[in-house]
Amino acid sequence: VEINREVWEADRIILTGEIIHHLIAGYSGGRKSLVPGVGGFRTITFNHRMIFDPNCQPGKLDGNPAHEDLLEACRMADPDFIVNVVLSPEGQLIRVVAGHYDLAHREGCRTVDRMLGAAIDGRYDLVVASAGGFPLDIDLRQAHKGLE
């Protein structure tokens, strides 16, 4: 794992960010502030190549190899704690989580799921869904966030 030397040698590592669904790592925030945040090119490239693994998907942490790779980087760098926010679709602060890089992050992920998730009773042949409006409908890369 390669990360910025100044971060690696720092007395304290505090990770900050926002938690939302992420196409590859399941959710943004937490460990993603380390990699790709201050990660080296080879480390970032290795992690992002996992996009083709079917277990890398929005809203999934357990069994997601990209997430597990990011956790390994955190175990090596051993950040002191994280401070992450969960925002509403309108940008309003919903929650702040702070603490251990994995435990606090997972708590924030549960908040995202409660806020943005919907229970369904099965699979359907056709679903009509909105990406949530601007900026989530700006391109296909962003639109997945409204569909997951």
33, 16 in Cβ contact below 8 A? yes
Please state the pTM of the whole predicted model. 0.85
Q: What is the pLDDT of residues 78-123, one digit of tens each?
A: 999 999 999 998 899 999 999 999 999 999 999 999 998 888 889 9
Mean pLDDT across the stretch 14-27?
96
Phi, psi of 144 (to 5 degrees): -60, -30
- Average pLDDT on 27-37 reads 96
Q: Which CATH class is domain 5-117?
A: alpha beta
pLDDT in tens, 40-90: 999 999 999 999 999 999 999 999 999 999 999 999 999 999 999 999 988
Q: Which among 126, 146, 124 is positioned nearest to 134, based on CA atoms?
A: 146
What's the pLDDT at 128?
A: 78
Break the chain into its structural domains and give their ranges: 5-117, 123-148
- φ and ψ at 101, to 5 degrees? -55, -30
SS3 73: helix
HSE at residue 67, side-chain half, CA atoms within 13 A, is 26
Tokens 């390994």 identify what position?
72
Q: What's the rounded Cα separation, in Å, for the pair 90 and 97?
A: 19
* Among the ranges given (9-13, 76-80, 125-129), the one the predictor scored with the smallest mean pLDDT: 125-129
- Give the pLDDT confidence score for residue 141 in this predicted structure: 65
Q: Is the distance from CB of 96 to CB of 85 less than 8 angstroms?
A: yes
Beta bridge partners of 21: 27
Tokens (6 digits) for 80 = 């002191």
